[in-house]
């Protein structure tokens, strides 16, 4: 029976899931940061990465829901590119949309402001807001202002004079105190960066303070974004980054973009090299409180993989004596051999074993994910770390030497 490790990982984060649901690609915009300010006529390069086991076939750049670039992709599991657009004055939403070979798509978006080519006069500083100011906690950490603490301007005098966020540890999470000042605005909104797919949003007044409590974050040191609006619905945004470390630490570097789902767990393991890949056996694979036993990962040299349960038990034949390997190669035995003999697609793709299996201690750790496919990281025999993406098959790659 194929082991649904990836399903266990993802279901641990959601109340319900279905392995029959087609996967959607993961899209991440690396730059520019949301809330960035540009000048009219400036060429803005949007760098993004899209990943999906079935392969990325096309990536589009949209400005305010209008396609301005469409680039084909080589159907690889991960595709990174830079798409450019010449900035026009005003507030804009930049969206990257990726398509997979299976026809699925997903998006990631950011908000930017494009100021006139001629710098407008800085508006007069507004008076202290009348809203009640909540005192900042004594043991707090002030956020880092991105990109600066100066006012963010828009045509007509709409501006953010200041936006701060101070954090305090509380049982089960964080208390965050926001404070902000703006001019020319009639209302505002604060968006949490603890989740990119399901961000928490607070509708607030144009000036004031807000104290919230949050339980967890999917991303380390997330950004919080203030967006203010004038009567014509023009908008200006500013982001701050708060200090919020992940609950657990990755056992390797560089770390993925999301936090670990749980602490790293070690397990007895074995690995065998083949002509076109390797097989890895794990005595147990632990994801939170869920433990799966006797896992076999078949890692092909082309970056794809399959996952199986080791069903070989003592008393079964260790190998097929009727199979004679060519000189210099081996027929795999026991659990590896059973998978190899019973799955012709595996056997034909991975080839013969080139060395005997070797035992070692492996380490596994699951990543937090906001959508399928699931992901985890594994230390292999030579000490390198790989990322396994998908369920019950998908893509793998080296992430740490």
Tell the residue number behind the tokens 């006012």, with chain if given: 151
- Rg (C-alpha) for the chain, rounded Å, is 26
Task: Tell me the domain boundaries of the chain.
Answer: 24-115, 141-241, 265-400
Tell the residue number behind the tokens 């190669």, with chain if given: 329
Q: Please state, in angstroms and rounded to a whole number, the distance separating the CA atoms of residues 178 and 160.
A: 14
Apex CA 120: angle with CA 118 and CA 122, to 5°? 150
Is the Cβ–Cβ distance between 190 and 204 less than 8 Å? yes
Residue 234, both tokens: 């023009």
pLDDT tens digits, the chain, 401 residues: what are they? 333 444 444 344 333 333 344 578 899 998 898 878 888 888 899 989 999 988 999 999 988 878 888 888 888 889 999 998 988 888 888 999 988 988 788 888 898 878 776 433 333 333 333 333 333 333 344 444 444 334 455 556 899 999 999 999 999 899 999 999 999 999 999 999 999 888 899 999 999 999 999 999 999 999 999 999 999 999 999 999 999 999 999 999 999 999 999 999 999 999 999 999 999 999 998 877 788 999 999 999 999 999 999 999 999 999 999 999 999 999 999 999 999 999 999 999 999 999 999 999 999 999 998 887 889 999 999 999 999 998 788 999 999 87
Other CB atoms within a 10 A radius of the CB of residue 217 amount to 22
Q: What is the pLDDT of residue 9?
A: 42
Apex CA 237: angle with CA 197 and CA 158, to 5°? 150
One fold for both 24-115 and 141-241?
yes
Q: What is the pLDDT of residue 203?
A: 95
Q: Please state, in angstroms and rounded to a whole number, the distance separating the CA atoms of residues 29 and 109.
A: 7
Q: Is the full-model pTM beyond 0.85?
A: no
Q: What is the pLDDT of residue 22?
A: 54
Span 24-115: which CATH code?
Answer: 2.60.40.10
> Selecting from 1.10.10.10, 3.40.50.970, 2.40.160.60, 2.60.40.10, what CATH number does the domain 141-241 have?
2.60.40.10
- Strand, coil or helix: 343: coil
């Amino acid at each position: 029976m194929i082991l649904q490790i990836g399903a266990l990982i993802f279901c641990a984060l959601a109340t319900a899931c279905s392995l029959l649901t087609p996967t959607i690609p993961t899209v991440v915009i690396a730059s520019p940061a949301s809330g960035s300010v540009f000048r009219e006529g400036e060429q803005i390069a949007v760098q993004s990465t899209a990943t999906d086991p079935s392969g990325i076939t096309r990536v589009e750049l949209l400005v305010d829901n209008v396609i301005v670039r469409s680039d084909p992709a080589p159907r690889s599991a991960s595709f990174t590119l830079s798409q450019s657009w010449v900035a026009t004055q005003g507030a804009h939403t930049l969206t990257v949309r990726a398509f997979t070979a299976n026809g699925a798509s997903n998006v990631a978006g950011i908000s930017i402001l494009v100021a006139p080519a001629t710098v407008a006069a800085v508006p007069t500083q507004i008076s202290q807001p009348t809203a009640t100011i909540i005192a900042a906690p004594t043991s707090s950490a002030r956020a880092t202002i991105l990109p600066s603490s100066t006012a963010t301007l828009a045509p007509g005098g709409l501006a953010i004079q200041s936006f701060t966020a101070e954090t305090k540890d509380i049982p089960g999470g964080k208390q965050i105190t926001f404070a902000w000042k703006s001019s020319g605005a009639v209302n505002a909104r604060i968006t949490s960066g603890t989740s990119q797919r399901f961000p928490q949003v607070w509708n607030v007044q144009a000036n004031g303070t807000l104290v919230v409590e949050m339980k967890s974050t999917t991303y380390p040191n997330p950004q919080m974004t203030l967006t203010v609006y004038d009567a014509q619905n023009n908008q200006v945004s500013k982001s701050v980054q708060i200090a919020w470390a992940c609950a657990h630490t990755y056992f390797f570097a560089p770390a993925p973009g999301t936090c670990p789902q749980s602490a790293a767990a070690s397990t007895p393991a074995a690995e065998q090299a083949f002509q076109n890949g390797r097989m890895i056996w794990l005595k147990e694979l632990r994801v939170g409180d869920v433990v799966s036993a006797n896992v076999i990962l078949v890692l092909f040299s082309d970056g794809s993989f399959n996952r199986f349960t080791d069903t070989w038990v003592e008393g079964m034949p260790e190998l097929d004596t009727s199979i004679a390997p060519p000189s210099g190669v081996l027929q795999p035995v026991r659990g590896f051999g059973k998978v190899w003999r019973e799955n012709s697609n595996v056997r034909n793709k991975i080839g013969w074993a080139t060395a005997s299996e070797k035992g070692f201690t492996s380490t596994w750790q699951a990543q937090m994910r906001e959508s399928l496919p699931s992901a985890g990281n594994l230390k292999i025999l030579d000490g390198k770390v790989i990322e396994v993406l998908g369920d019950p098959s998908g893509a793998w790659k080296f992430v740490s030497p």
